[in-house]
Chains A and B, each alone.
Chain A
Amino acid sequence: MAWTPTQVLAWLDEVEPRADGRSHLEWLELPPTAAPGAAQGAYHAIARTRHPDLFRRALSERELDRLTRMYARVSNAYAALRSADADARPALVAPAKPASIDPTRAMNARALVLYRRAEGALRTGDRAAARLNIKMAIAADPASALLRGALAELDADD
């Protein structure tokens, strides 16, 4: 059921200040343990409660613009999680349970070397190096969806 305008404004006040720091899972209001495939249900639940269309008349133009911008972040998170889900969540983003996908089969050998380096960099907290290695891995194997998902996660988490 749609939220009241008051609920929507309270949500905006809460998420706007740290909009850039929220992870995809946070945007979709999912726990870190959420199963792959939970993204669609979560996205629908948010759409049902606070899609901008629901407030065309209830909010001012400025408030509606604020809502659309924050809702757009939710869409972005859904897009990233959906494509990651399709690849069974890459190990790079440290999922709650071991990744069920084997990276050795998700990319070619040259890309795998770079992917391992990225994982190493990430363990030491060097995100810039991790990103660079992932990008080089993508250059080595542009078809790997796992790598693209990993890059999207890195970009979004920063």
Chain B
Amino acid sequence: MGLAVGIDLGTTNSVVAVATPTGVEFALGAAGERIHPSVVSYQPDGQVMVGLDAKHQRADFPTTTIYSAKRLIGQNVRAPLVQLALSGLPFAVEEGPNQQAVIALGERRVTIPEVSAQVLGHLKACAQRQLGQAVTDAVITVPANFTDAQRQATKEAGRLAGLDVMRLLNEPTAAALAYGFGQHKDEVVAVFDFGGGTFDVSLLAIKDEVFEVLATDGDFFLGGDDVDRAVAEFLAAEMNRLLRVDPRRDPGLMTRLSIAAEEIKIHLSEVTAAEGTIDGLLHRGRALSLPFRLTRPQLDELIRGYVDRTIELTRNVLTTARLPVSAITEVVCVGGSTRIPLVRRRLAELFGREPALRINPDEVVAQGAAIQAGSLSGTMFRGGGMSTRDAVPTAALSPLAHGDVPWAKAAEPARPILLDVTPATLRISTAGGYSEPILEKNLPTPIERTRVFTTAHDQQARVVIECGRGEARRFADNEPLGTLVLEGLPPRRRGEVRIEVTFRVDTDGILHVRARDADTGTMTEAQLTILGAPTRRAS
């Protein structure tokens, strides 16, 4: 077996880390970058670029440079929110088998797990180069509110990249692990994870090495991308007003403005006003220049709605866990969007304290994943948690690669215990358009629950069980997961055939549904295939 790494596979950026006998070490890219853009560029000559190199191709190859793939992974392409997200992307997305999103590159079709596998393969290569050893196993983090299809698709991406995915770990849980591992804490922390494309908030009780998620909530279509888009829309309106050119119909121009928007946003976290000119805006063969000025209060106004939503979800999660604000001993910020001053201010107002400062919001998730990877593979040492190695100089290899520091299995490996929860209610449809919850939101995982249902008609030989995810009583108001069909039931009067429906959520947060006729000796069993999931089951 080779090394086990922890990977934070982000919407915008990814980070890879490994727990070593001397602490957690981050694997750098060719230019010395610790943070690897989650961008894959398919070049006309067939070459595939990944990471920082690929990000630089965005402006020149807007239709074949794929970013924010995480927003599409495991998604049902027909879902309204997905359609909305697609409207802002410069590359073409089509519907593939099982209602998956598939990217069209001319004649070629690439699935989203294939795109993510390119990113994972790049991270794996960086780690192998730096550590001088083969990387075979990984813990990959996912947003806490990721669905089953999204989890399955992420696992599939890992498999395609030649990695044994030991565990999918929820991002806020990973952050809490990095924060509290080896510290003998007795605390209740709030993890506020506002990343590039998703928002999660989790409350965790940390007692020694047990990390128990008390409640979690989130929104997987809310992140820094939305902030960038709000700023890009502002710039587009400015362009229309000042230059009489509407860039909103031109993917090339909008990509340029989005890139500028991200830079302006980051700049406004440091200073109170940004001013300048965006050059090289190609329109009808002419290169235009757009002057702009945006102040921090203006930015706050543009993004207030998004920030309000994160605070509202944070209040909800406190209510769910029945905890007063005063019970929270620390606020751990994760994700680049938590650097936005408005976000920090609103969090400080809510909790009456400043968020923990010693946490690096870009790296903490990968660090937690590395600790879990080390623990599961038995190479994590006690107390090896928070100390991260200094960045290694670009060209140099890790001392581990030279054999200066021996790799060894810990005699008594550290074993943090992570107790996570179900992110949403899982239910089935019942008569009259209603639904019945089988597993509610925020239950501890792994969990299994069986409910017994009966037939609705005499001589019914077949039942159709529709599964959904969400909090609405009316079935149609929930997100459809798929349909399970149970056939060959014995001919009986209605209500006399008992059907057991079992929902099981495993340690990766993946749902398994089974239905069987409880009475006949010949047990009819059926297994659910979830819509939007890769057609090859990734479990």
Highest count of chain A CB atoms <10 Å: which of B166, B377, B443: B443
The proximity string for A residues 50-76 relative to B, scoring 1 for CB distances below 8 Å and 0 otherwise, is: 011110110000000000110111011
Is the C-beta of B419 less than 8 angstroms from some C-beta in chain A?
Answer: yes
Cross-chain contact of B207 among A44, A76, A86, A155 (Cβ < 8 A): A44
In whole angstroms, how far apart are the Cα atoms of A78 and B205 in the complex? 15
Residue of B nearest to A45 (CB): B210
Residue of B nearest to A70 (CB): B448
Is the C-beta of A101 less than 8 angstroms from some C-beta in chain B?
Answer: no
B376/A56 in contact, CB under 8 A: yes
Is the C-beta of A34 less than 8 angstroms from some C-beta in chain B?
Answer: no
Please give the distance in Å from A155's CB to the nearest CB on chain B: 8
Could you list 15 examples of A-B contacts with CB < 8 Å?
Answer: A40-B205, A40-B212, A47-B417, A47-B419, A51-B417, A51-B419, A53-B376, A53-B415, A53-B418, A57-B377, A72-B445, A75-B444, A76-B443, A79-B440, A79-B447
Cross-chain contact of A68 among B376, B377, B440, B446 (Cβ < 8 A): B446
What B residues does A56 contact at CB under 8 A?
166, 376
B507/A43 in contact, CB under 8 A: no
Q: Top 10 A-B pairs ranked by shortest CB distance? A: A72-B448, A75-B444, A75-B447, A72-B446, A79-B443, A47-B417, A72-B447, A44-B210, A51-B417, A56-B376
Please give the distance in Å from B446's CB to the nearest CB on chain A: 5
What B residues does A75 contact at CB under 8 A?
443-447
Is the C-beta of B462 less than 8 angstroms from some C-beta in chain A?
Answer: no
Within 8 A of B (CB), among A17-64: 40, 43-44, 47-48, 51-54, 56-57
Is the C-beta of A2 less than 8 angstroms from some C-beta in chain B?
Answer: yes
Please give the distance in Å from A59's CB to the nearest CB on chain B: 13
What B residues does A54 contact at CB under 8 A?
415, 417
In whole angstroms, how far apart are the Cα atoms of A26 and B448 in the complex? 17
Q: Known contacts A56-B376, A79-B444: does B417 contact A72 (CB below 8 Å)?
A: no
What A residues does B378 contact at CB under 8 A?
57
What A residues does B207 contact at CB under 8 A?
44
Using a CB–CB cutoff of 8 Å, the interface residues on chain B facing chain A are: 166-167, 205, 207, 209-210, 212, 322, 375-378, 415, 417-419, 440, 443-449, 451, 504, 506-507
Cross-chain contact of B415 among A2, A43, A52, A155 (Cβ < 8 A): A2
Residue of A nearest to B418 (CB): A53
Highest count of chain B CB atoms <10 Å: which of A44, A69, A72, A73: A72
Please give the distance in Å from A52's CB to the nearest CB on chain B: 6
A73/B210 in contact, CB under 8 A: no
Q: Known contacts A44-B212, A47-B419: does B507 contact A76 (CB below 8 Å)?
A: no
Having A68-B507, A69-B504, one finds 4 other A-B pairs with CB under 8 Å, namely A40-B212, A47-B417, A75-B445, A75-B446
Highest count of chain A CB atoms <10 Å: which of B167, B419, B443, B446: B446
What A residues does B443 contact at CB under 8 A?
75-76, 79
B210/A76 in contact, CB under 8 A: no
Please give the distance in Å from B213's CB to the nearest CB on chain A: 12
What B residues does A79 contact at CB under 8 A?
440, 443-444, 447
What B residues does A86 contact at CB under 8 A?
322
Cross-chain contact of A76 among B166, B205, B417, B448 (Cβ < 8 A): B448
Please give the distance in Å from B383's CB to the nearest CB on chain A: 17
Residue of B nearest to A1 (CB): B415
Residue of A nearest to B372 (CB): A53
In whole angstroms, how far apart are the Cα atoms of A83 and B249 in the complex? 52
Please give the distance in Å from B12's CB to the nearest CB on chain A: 30
Cross-chain contact of A69 among B205, B417, B418, B448 (Cβ < 8 A): B448
In whole angstroms, how far apart are the Cα atoms of A48 and B417 in the complex? 7
What A residues does B167 contact at CB under 8 A?
53
In whole angstroms, how far apart are the Cα atoms of A73 and B451 in the complex? 14
Residue of B nearest to A54 (CB): B415
What B residues does A43 contact at CB under 8 A?
419, 444
A76/B419 in contact, CB under 8 A: no
Please give the distance in Å from B306's CB to the nearest CB on chain A: 31
Q: Known contacts A73-B448, A79-B447: does B210 contact A48 (CB below 8 Å)?
A: yes
B447/A47 in contact, CB under 8 A: no
What B residues does A44 contact at CB under 8 A?
207, 210, 212, 417, 419
Please give the distance in Å from B281's CB to the nearest CB on chain A: 52
Residue of B nearest to A2 (CB): B415
A78/B210 in contact, CB under 8 A: no
In whole angstroms, how far apart are the Cα atoms of A44 and B210 in the complex? 7
Cross-chain contact of A72 among B322, B377, B504 (Cβ < 8 A): B504
What B residues does A68 contact at CB under 8 A?
446, 506-507
Residue of A nearest to B422 (CB): A79
Within 8 A of B (CB), among A79-110: 79, 86
In whole angstroms, how far apart are the Cα atoms of A48 and B209 in the complex? 9
Please give the distance in Å from A9's CB to the nearest CB on chain B: 18
Please give the distance in Å from A60's CB to the nearest CB on chain B: 16
Please give the distance in Å from B232's CB to the nearest CB on chain A: 43
Cross-chain contact of A47 among B210, B375, B440, B449 (Cβ < 8 A): B210
What A residues does B449 contact at CB under 8 A?
76
Please give the distance in Å from A46's CB to the nearest CB on chain B: 10
In whole angstroms, how far apart are the Cα atoms of A86 and B506 in the complex? 26
In whole angstroms, how far apart are the Cα atoms of A71 and B448 in the complex? 9
In whole angstroms, how far apart are the Cα atoms of A55 and B197 in the complex? 34
What B residues does A72 contact at CB under 8 A?
445-448, 504
A52/B210 in contact, CB under 8 A: no
Highest count of chain A CB atoms <10 Å: which of B322, B376, B417, B504: B417
Please give the distance in Å from A32's CB to the nearest CB on chain B: 22
In whole angstroms, how far apart are the Cα atoms of A68 and B506 in the complex? 8
Residue of A nearest to B445 (CB): A75
Please give the distance in Å from B283's CB to the nearest CB on chain A: 56
